[in-house]
Every structure is written in C-alpha cells, then in structure tokens.
C-alpha cells in the first residue's frame, strides 16, 4: 500500500461519532491484511470492526457502519 494513498485515507476520516475526537487508520497487529479505524482519544474507545483493506475500514468508519 502506498504511503500517499494511506495518508489520503487518513486525512479523509470523519471525526469520532462518539466524542468528536480524531480517528486513526491502522493495520491490525498480528493479522496481515486487516485494518481498523479507532478514536485517538484514550478515554473514548470508539472503533469499527476490522476490515480486509484500509479502504473498506475508512469507508465503514465514515458511514458509521460496524461501530463497537
């Protein structure tokens, strides 16, 4: 995955629907090819389900699908 593409996906993420904080797109540890988006506010914990690509994870976050 090209860094510029990941940076564009990160930049286009909507704020957290729970607290309004910034969100972060990241790969799942120990799970190659799985990605998640989560709120960067330690006290919030907002996140989406893991998806099989960074594009799917970002789309789900921005649609507010698969929130936990």
DSSP the chain: --HHHHHHHHHTPPPPTTT---EEEEEPTT-TT-EEEEES-TTT--BB--BSSHHHHHHHHHHT-SB-
Tell me: the pLDDT tens digits for 13-44? 999 999 999 999 999 998 888 999 999 999 99
**pLDDT attached to residue 54:** 96
**Beta strand extents in 1-68 (DSSP E only):** 23-27, 35-39
Tell me: the pLDDT tens digits for 47-64? 999 999 999 999 999 997
Decide if pLDDT at 68 tops 80.
no
**pLDDT attached to residue 1:** 53
CA distance 45 to 55: 21
């Amino acid at each position: 995955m090209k860094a510029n593409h990941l940076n564009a996906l990160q930049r286009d993420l909507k704020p957290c629907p729970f607290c309004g904080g910034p969100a972060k797109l990241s790969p799942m540890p120990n799970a190659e090819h799985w990605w998640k988006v989560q709120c960067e506010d330690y006290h919030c914990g907002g996140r989406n389900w893991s998806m099989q690509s960074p594009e799917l994870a970002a789309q789900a976050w921005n649609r507010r699908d698969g929130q936990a």
